[in-house]
Structure 1
Amino acid sequence: MGGPSAEREVSLSSGRECAAALREAGFETIELDAGRDLAARLAELSPDVVFNALHGRWGEDGCVQGLLEWMRIPYTHSGVLASALTLDKQRTKAVYQDAGLPVVPSLLAKASDVRAGHVMTPPYVVKPNDEGSSVGIYLVHDGATAPPQLADSMPEEVLVEAYAPGRELTVTVLGNRALTVTDILTDGWYDYDAKYVEGGSRHVLPADLPPEVFDACMDHALRAHLLLGCRGISRTDFRWDEGKGAAGLILLETNTQPGMTPTSLAPEQAAHVGIPFPELCRMLVEDASCDR
C-alpha cells in the first residue's frame, strides 16, 4: 500500500480497508508502505501472499509485479504484462480498437506542443498517459480559443483524446464474470474530488439503461478484461451518449487496480451481487499467483 505515485493517498486508504477486511476473513496481515527498501522488507517478512493495494505508477504498471515474480511471491491482481499494458492508456486503446471495441480518436503529444496550440479540434481531454484516479486531467471545451496551460508537473508526453459526452458508466469483472453496471452521477466532471471526496458523486446500480446498452457494457468489459490478460479483478469505464443509443457507447480505460475501500465502485458492485468485502478480499488472495 502507499508507495510513491501520485495516487499514494488513495492507495493508503485502499490498503487500510483491505487489511482490515483480510483480518476479518481470518488472515494474518501486515501493512507495508512500499518504499525503496521494498525488496529488503519483503525478504525480511517472507509473506505467503502479497495483497497488492498499490495504485498508479510502480504499483500498477508491472514494476512491483516484476519484483514479486523475481522473488517468487504470489500476489493478487493482474500480472506484469496486463499491468504494464493497461496503465499505458494509448496502447490499451489500440487493443480495444483492434478487437472492434468502440473508442474515441486520440494521440500522444509533447506537453510543450499542447501548451503552444490546439493539437486536436476542441472539445478534447488532456491527461497523463500512465496515471489513474483522474490525476492531471484537463478538459478543453468546444469553442475554446486558447490551448490548455498544463502544469509543470505534467509529463513531457501526454495523451490527447476527443471528448466523449454522456453518462459515466463502469463495470467490474471478477475472475471471468462481469458483475453489473454502475451509473456515476456528478454535478460536473468526474475528477479526483468527485471520486474520493464524500458526496462528490452518487452511484446508481444497477444502472437504469436500455437492455442493449447494459448488455453491451457487460460484454465489452469482460472482453477487455480477457483481451488485456487481466487477472483477479478489473474495472472498465465507459461514456454513453444516450442520444445515439447503443452506438453512443465508448470505452475509456481498464483499471487493473481499482479502488478497494468498501464504498469504492468495484467492492460496491461485488456487494450488490452478494459478495461482502471480506469475501472479495479473500477471493483475490486465493487467486494470487506469481506464474501468470
Structure 2
Amino acid sequence: MNFEISRKPQEYGKVAVLLGGNSAERDISLMSGEAIFSALIKSGVDAVKVDPKDGLINQLIDKSIERVFIALHGREGEDGVVQGCLQSMGIPYTGSNVVSAAMSMDKLISKRLWKQMGIPTAHFSSVEKGQKFTEIEARRLFAKLGPVLFVKPVKEGSSVGMSKVSDEKSLVEGVRLAHQYDNQALVETFTSGKEYTVSILRGKALPSISMETPRDFYDYEAKYQSNQTKYFCPSGLSDDDETVLQRLALKAFGALGCSGWGRVDFIRDGEFGEFLILEANTVPGMTMTSLVPKAAKAVGLGFEQLVLNILETSFDVR
C-alpha cells in the first residue's frame, strides 16, 4: 500500500487538534489528541490544541486556524455537530462529512441501512426513553432476539453504557443504564465469537485485527484499562476470509457515505460463521496503542506518517 505524503509541513497552515470536548469519551479523546498533536509537531506542522469545552468558535478565530484535525470521540465530535460548525466557518477538517458522521454515530440508523443492503448484522430492536419497559416487555424481547442480549446507548462509543444480559431484571437495568447516556437503547442478539476490526485509510482497508480478552466481553475496561487484552495483527484469518472482511468493511463504510479514515468493527458468528457488523467509527482512538495505529504499523506506516495521512483527508472534496 502506498501512503506517501508529498505535501510540505507548511502547506497545512495553522492546524487545530480538537480534543477533549464534553462527551462521555472525553478522557480517551484527550489521550488521542495529545498523541496526534505530538506527532504533528514532530513532523514540523504548525499545530495547536483546542478543547471545545472552552468555547470552540472563538478559539478557532482567535488562533487563526486554517485546518482542523478532529480527535473528538462521541457526541459533538463524531455525530456531525462539530463537522457542521467547521463547514459553516469554511474550515477544512479531517474525516467524514456532516451527514455520514451523524449516520455512523447512530447505531440504529446504521444497522437499519446495513440490513437493507444485505450486510450481515445481529438481530436488534430498540427501546425509547420514557417508553414503558418492564420485565414483561423484557420477556418479549428475549423471545424475539434470543437468550442472551447486548444493550447499548444508540449514540455512544467506547462501550460506554453497555451491558450483557440474560434475564428480564438485568435487561430492564441495562436499558435504564443505556438511557442515562441516550434517549434510545439498542438491544441486539448476543453473538458468541471472536471480534475483529478493520481500519480504513484514504479508501483502503488495512489488515484486520482480532481481539481476545479474559473479560465477559470487549468492554471499556478491556479496551482501555486491562493489560490482559491481546491483539493480533495479522488477525489469523485465511486470505479468503481476510478479503471478505475487508470488502465488507469498505462496503459498510461507503454505505454510510463515510470517507477519509475510520474503523469498522465486526464479530464472527462462531469459529467459521459469517462476519456480523457491529458499528462504524469515524473518529476512532488514536493513542499510541489504539487499533488504527496497530493496523497501520502492519503495512509499514509509523504513527507520524499515519497522522499526516489522516490530515491529508482534510483536502478531500465533500
Q: TM-score band (shorter)?
A: over 0.9
Deviations 1:6-58 (A, max 9, x none): 00000000000000011111101111111262111111112121110000001
Q: 5+ residue gaps in structure 2?
A: 1-18
Contact 1:107 1:160 in 2 (8 A): yes
Query: C-alpha separation between the residues in 2 aligned to 1:190 and 1:113?
Result: 30
Structure 2 residue 236 is the aligned partner of structure 1 residue 208: yes
Match of 2:105 among 87, 110, 113: 87
Match of 2:76 among 54, 58, 72: 58
- Of 264-273 and 27-36, the range deviating more from structure 2: 27-36
Query: C-alpha separation between the residues in 2 aligned to 1:217 and 1:114?
Result: 37
**Structure 1 residues 140, 113: closer, same or farther in 2, change over 3 A?**
farther
Structure 2 residue 74 is the aligned partner of structure 1 residue 74: no
Q: Displacement of 1:64 after TM fit?
A: 0.2
Aligned partner of 1:106 in structure 2 is: 124
SS in 2 for 1:51: strand
Aligned partner of 2:14 in structure 1 is: none
Give the aligned residue type for 2:149: Y
Give the aligned residue type for 1:131: E
Give the aligned residue type for 1:201: T
Aligned partner of 1:237 in structure 2 is: 265
Q: TM-score when scaled to structure 2? A: 0.86
Query: C-alpha separation between the residues in 2 aligned to 1:145 and 1:104?
Result: 20
RMSD value, Cα: 1.7
Give the aligned residue type for 1:284: I
SS in 1 for 2:50: coil
How many residue pairs get aligned? The number is: 288
**Structure 1 residues 285, 253: closer, same or farther in 2, change over 3 A?**
same
Match of 2:163 among 125, 135, 138: 138
Q: 5+ residue gaps in structure 1?
A: none
SS in 2 for 1:217: helix
Structure 2 residue 283 is the aligned partner of structure 1 residue 280: no
Query: C-alpha separation between the residues in 1 aligned to 2:168 and 2:22?
Result: 36
Contact 1:213 1:249 in 2 (8 A): no
Contact 2:135 2:168 in 1 (8 A): no
Contact 2:156 2:181 in 1 (8 A): no
Q: TM-score when scaled to structure 1? A: 0.93
SS in 1 for 2:266: strand
Query: C-alpha separation between the residues in 2 aligned to 1:145 and 1:288?
Result: 47
Aligned partner of 2:150 in structure 1 is: 125
Deviations 1:217-276 (A, max 9, x none): 111011112221112111110101234x2x431111110011001210011101111111
Structure 2 residue 191 is the aligned partner of structure 1 residue 164: yes
Query: C-alpha separation between the residues in 1 aligned to 2:183 and 2:69?
Result: 32
Aligned partner of 1:190 in structure 2 is: 218
Contact 2:192 2:270 in 1 (8 A): no
SS in 2 for 1:287: helix
Q: Displacement of 1:114 after TM fit?
A: 4.4
Q: Displacement of 1:211 after TM fit?
A: 3.2
Give the aligned residue type for 2:269: D
Contact 2:193 2:268 in 1 (8 A): yes
**Structure 1 residues 166, 113: closer, same or farther in 2, change over 3 A?**
farther
Query: C-alpha separation between the residues in 2 aligned to 1:166 and 1:104?
Result: 12
Contact 1:73 1:290 in 2 (8 A): no
